[in-house]
Amino acid sequence: MKALRLPSWKSDPVLEDVEVPSPGPGEVLVQVGAAGACHSDLHLMHDFEPGGLPWNPPFTLGHENAGWIHALGAGVTGFEPGQPVAVVGAWGCGTCERCLDGVETYCDRPDLAPVPGGGGGLGLDGGMAEYLLVPAARHLVPLPDGLDPVDAAPLTDAGLTPYHAIRRSAHKLGPTATAVVIGVGGLGHLGIQVLKATTAARVVAVDVREGARDLAARCGADLALPPGADLAAQIREFTGGRGADVVVDMVGADATLATAAACARPLADITVVGIAGGTLPVSFFGLPYEASVQTTYWGNRRELVEVLDLGARGLLRAETTIYTLDDAVLAYKDLAHGTVEGRAVVVPNDTYRP
């Protein structure tokens, strides 16, 4: 089968022919319907050095995956061949306190996990291939009626990650609240939809690109602004002088973190989702009083069930650009050049069902 593989750190991906895996006991082989191309994959290709992560290439890329059950390993129950499924991306040990609580992203025993702190497409072979081997059936979620794998795949990360970040601040997002989303890319445009579907807060979107601001408006943002010297003042004017109750930074650069701090009000949540490598100085007078700053990583299986339900109901839909597996390298080049609107999604040639 064809697979888009990262051969080493500081390298571009390569489309190769590899063997179709066979599921062992407890494993499931998924025929890939679609795999999202995530901006974080660009960091894997270009930014990390050996030893920077607890795993190394080579492996097949693609950690946003959905498709159909192809084969079941011995002992697997509850699924049947041909059933459409989404893949939960983070694969923990399954036995520690965090994993048993459904939070495998923060597994306490990474030494017992299939790959420490990762999953398919992150240390192990992912879904930029015709088939994906999933190590345990608990990492699969049946797709609700009306949701195709091509639509579901980007929701497993680009939808789930902002959903998790926003829901942890749900108690601060009432009718009088304002949320700011910085960066209206693959995650940001879905974060806006999550806010509109699950909260009563007003939403302000920030992006340097005019096309991204137009996308933000289509996704329901009440106000879309470019960055600039007067951005924080504009947000405060929009909020009656108070500032934002929740700021979700989908970029994570120095400039965007500074913007987040400048437009937040006391008691606000500032949640850093993007991994652009910026820092935010924290001191007594450096942030609004009692503002909380946190990072988040992905989301959990229960939340993915909720995200997919929103998708099936038409409340959450990724704006996508479709690439075949043969053109997957181009998808990442376009992503790096900032020419992808929404999410790039790669489909194997013989499985895409328009």
DSSP 41: H
**pLDDT of 104-125, one tens digit each?**
999 999 999 999 999 999 999 9
| Numbered ranges of CATH 3.40.50.720 in the chain | 160-295
Question: What's the pLDDT at 342?
Answer: 86
Question: Among residues 321, 318, 334, 328, which one has the least CA distance to residue 348?
Answer: 328
Q: Which residues of the chain have a pLDDT value below 70?
A: 349-354
> What DSSP designation does 268 have?
E
Digit-coded pLDDT (tens) for 149-184: 999 999 999 999 999 999 999 999 999 999 999 999
- At residue 353, the pLDDT reads 52
Assigned fold of 2-157+299-347: Quinone Oxidoreductase; Chain A, domain 1 (3.90.180)
Q: Who's near 155: CB < 8 A, 6+ residues apart?
A: 86, 190, 304, 307, 308, 311, 316, 318
CB 35 within 8 A of CB 65: yes
Q: Terminus-to-terminus CA distance in the chain, angstroms? A: 22
The CATH architecture annotation of domain 160-295 reads 3-Layer(aba) Sandwich (3.40)
Q: What is the model's pLDDT at position 189?
A: 97
The enclosing H or E element of 68 equals strand 64-72
The per-residue DSSP string of 244-256 comes to EEEEEESS--HHH
Give the residue range(s) of CATH 3.90.180.10 domains in the chain.
Answer: 2-157+299-347
* pLDDT recorded at residue 354: 39
Record the pTM: 0.95
Check: CB of residue 140 under 8 Å from CB of residue 89. Answer: no
Give which of 198, 201, 187 is closest to 296, Cα–Cα: 187
d(CA 46, CA 19): 27
Query: Cα torsion for 251, 38, 173, 295, to the nearest 10°?
Result: -60
Amino acid in the structure at residue 63? H
* Distance of alpha carbon 258 from the chain centroid: 23
